Structure 1
Amino acid sequence: MGRDRSAQLEYSEFQSAMLDEAKRRRKAAKIIAVLGHFLGRGDGDGKGVLDGLTVADIGCSAGFIADELVNAGAARTFGVDIDVPGLRKAADRFGERVVFVCGDGTALPFPDGSVDVLVFNHIYEHVVDPDAVVAEMHRVLAEDGVLYLGLGNRLGVMEPHYKLPFLSYLPPSLADRYVRMFGRADRYYERFRTRRGLRRMLKDFHVWDYTFPVLVTPARFAGSELFPGVVGRLAGAVLARLPRFALRALLPVVPTYLWVATKTPRRPAGPVLPRPPEPVRTP
């Protein structure tokens, strides 16, 4: 809170991953597959998962994920961000299919209860007040709506943006020195939370955890980008054989959580999985 993050108004200009189209579309495939399972929609290829729904990607940057949400059948798709260069690129390519809005996540441009599906994928660590953004998403989400969340974990060993081990563990002043020492950035702006902190952040939602289902069955969830190639297959095979208590013991240090949240109690409607999603919390 209070730290200057004005550089992130042009985040896509210094984080090239935001413009990696192939990678962003792979992430979108995973998001759509998770939503499809939770909603009990689609046949596994992403088609029809969002048929007839109003969808918004909060933190859309250059718009690749928003474009894939259209491909999944969304009736109306919005992309919201403060990354002006990213939004320009998005509007140039996808403006006829997606409505892009330059807006703050703490004041979303939607009426109460008007959005059926919200996507908030690896965004919370970049914003000044993530609790206020989550509260605003709760306001605009329909009573029977669904919120997809990709959430980085402060206790994940390798920091995902700058590829420096234990960076997110450090207090701000030391983290700034660390990224400067390795020439990654002038300052470290991102602020991650632990699993406990994320649960508090989602205190008004009912939440289901899809992290291990995606890792154990990556083909079902287009999740190979989490651990690509042989490493991914081995990780999935090992996790599939671990007992439930061992998986739960790993949860505090998993680098990324994949959660689905709702305002009212709902259960995943998709088929039974080798490692089914588990509830994280209820209000």
Structure 2
Amino acid sequence: MSASATRQGHAVLDLVSRQWKGRKIERLLGLGESTQVRRLLEVGTGSGGIAHFFASQASPTFDVDAVDVTDARQVVEGYRFTLVPSALLPFESESFDVVLTNHVIEHVGDSSDQMTHLREIRRVLKADGLVYLAVPNRWMLVEPHYKLPFLSWLPRKLRSTYVRWSGRGTHYDCEPLERGELEIMTGRAGFDARNISVEAFRATLAIEGNKGTIASIVARMPDTWLQKLEAIIPTHIYLLRKSS
């Protein structure tokens, strides 16, 4: 594999933030409403914090699997972990009630690999299952992995040059998506997609509190205003269900 194609690890190792993220996902998907044991898969588990959060809940109860291409886990208790070499998933079809793919699709490769990622998630999802999909917006002001302004705005052939020039690495190894192309891809993969970015923002504030003046101002905006900003917010968040 060439240097330009090598995908690096970008796991979030702050376990406190992973607990907050787990609570937010649970709230957004309405996962506290069932008394049944549900099987959950986290694709790209990173530190293992989110998988551990769901595995450690007394009520509701989850049976948790997690996969990743590298093992960067800081917490390993309570769930099963499998190393995978690609976007293909080592599970039988219709195995999971819930699948989480949180800032993963931008790391799996090009558009073909991203489609494989989505189609594999659909394959292992039960007919009435739910998917939490979070993807960095290509039009975010500051790219979150390399902390460089406007990095993902550039044409692909210039992104690695910017990364090298800044001293942040040898190449850019992510493929963030625009909202429109993400919705086209989820549709082609066989999903009905609902943008829940505004709900996710409200849930973040409820769990973590306001962080700074800008967040406080934005929090006062009505949902109709925030929905007009969905195309430029840093992260696209979607609830996916299988298309009928």
Query: TM-score under structure 2 normalisation?
Result: 0.87
How far did residue 51 of structure 1 move? 4.7
The DSSP-based 3-state class of the residue aligned with 2:81 is strand
| 2:28/2:203 contact within 8 Å kept | no
Alpha-carbon spacing, 1:64–1:205, altered in 2? closer, same or farther (3 Å): same
Partners of 2:61 and 2:236 in 1: CA distance? 25
Asked if 1:233 corresponds to 2:233, the answer is no
For residue 101 of structure 2, the aligned residue among 120, 139, 143 is 120
Alpha-carbon spacing, 1:50–1:33, altered in 2? closer, same or farther (3 Å): farther
Unaligned runs of 5+ in 1: 43-48, 266-283
Name 2:69's counterpart in structure 1: 82
Asked if 1:179 corresponds to 2:163, the answer is yes
Partners of 1:66 and 1:51 in 2: CA distance? 18
Alpha-carbon spacing, 1:182–1:3, altered in 2? closer, same or farther (3 Å): closer
How far did residue 235 of structure 1 move? 1.3
Partners of 2:135 and 2:61 in 1: CA distance? 23
Partners of 1:21 and 1:75 in 2: CA distance? 19
How far did residue 75 of structure 1 move? 3.3
Number of matched residues? Answer: 236
Matching of residues 241-260 of structure 1 within 5 Å: 244=224, 246-260=225-239
How far did residue 186 of structure 1 move? 1.2
Partners of 2:3 and 2:181 in 1: CA distance? 19
Partners of 2:7 and 2:129 in 1: CA distance? 33
Partners of 2:45 and 2:132 in 1: CA distance? 13
| 2:27/2:203 contact within 8 Å kept | no
Unaligned runs of 5+ in 2: none
| 1:50/1:69 contact within 8 Å kept | no
What's the Cα RMSD here? 2.3
- Percent identity over the alignment is 29
How far did residue 202 of structure 1 move? 0.5
Name 1:19's counterpart in structure 2: 13
Name 1:56's counterpart in structure 2: 41
For residue 189 of structure 1, the aligned residue among 159, 173, 183 is 173
Asked if 1:161 corresponds to 2:145, the answer is yes
How far did residue 161 of structure 1 move? 1.2
Matching of residues 183-222 of structure 1 within 5 Å: 183-203=167-187, 204-216=190-202, 218-220=204-206, 222=207
Aligned AA for 2:88? A
How far did residue 76 of structure 1 move? 1.3
Listed one character per residue, the Cα deviations across residues 220-276 of structure 1 (whole Å, up to 9, x for unaligned) are 4x365xx724432221112x2x6x3x44432221221111111146xxxxxxxxxxx
Alpha-carbon spacing, 1:3–1:193, altered in 2? closer, same or farther (3 Å): farther
| 2:68/2:82 contact within 8 Å kept | yes
Partners of 2:203 and 2:93 in 1: CA distance? 36
Query: TM-score under structure 1 normalisation?
Result: 0.76
Aligned AA for 1:19? L
Alpha-carbon spacing, 1:113–1:217, altered in 2? closer, same or farther (3 Å): closer
| 1:58/1:105 contact within 8 Å kept | no
Alpha-carbon spacing, 1:51–1:94, altered in 2? closer, same or farther (3 Å): farther
